[in-house]
Amino acid sequence: MEDMWGKIGETAGRVYHLLEEGEKSLSNIERSLRKEGYNTNIVKMAIGWLAREDKIFVLKDGNKWIIKLK
């Protein structure tokens, strides 16, 4: 069994760097990272990690979730 905390932390770092380019929708983040081999469930956990650390805003815009850095 792989180290889940390590994988979530690594993915959180990747999400953070992706958001440095500007705000993104959740589906855009998932699509971008899926192309790099990241699991979408881990991506969601990583976003939760960043939200818990108060590093990001998570906003609902109609049917879309928008994620951006604080």
Supply the angle between the helices 40-52 and 4-19 in degrees, to the nearest 10: 80
**What are the domain boundaries of the chain?**
4-69
Q: How is domain 4-69 classified at the CATH fold level?
A: Arc Repressor Mutant, subunit A (1.10.10)
Q: What is the pLDDT of residues 41-51, one digit of tens each?
A: 999 999 999 99
Tell me the pLDDT of the chain (70 aa) as tens digits: 568 899 999 999 999 999 999 999 999 999 999 999 999 999 999 999 999 999 999 999 999 999 999 9
Q: pTM of the prediction?
A: 0.91
What confidence score (pLDDT) does residue 4 get? 87
Pairing relation of β-strands 56-61 and 24-25? unpaired
pLDDT for position 2: 66
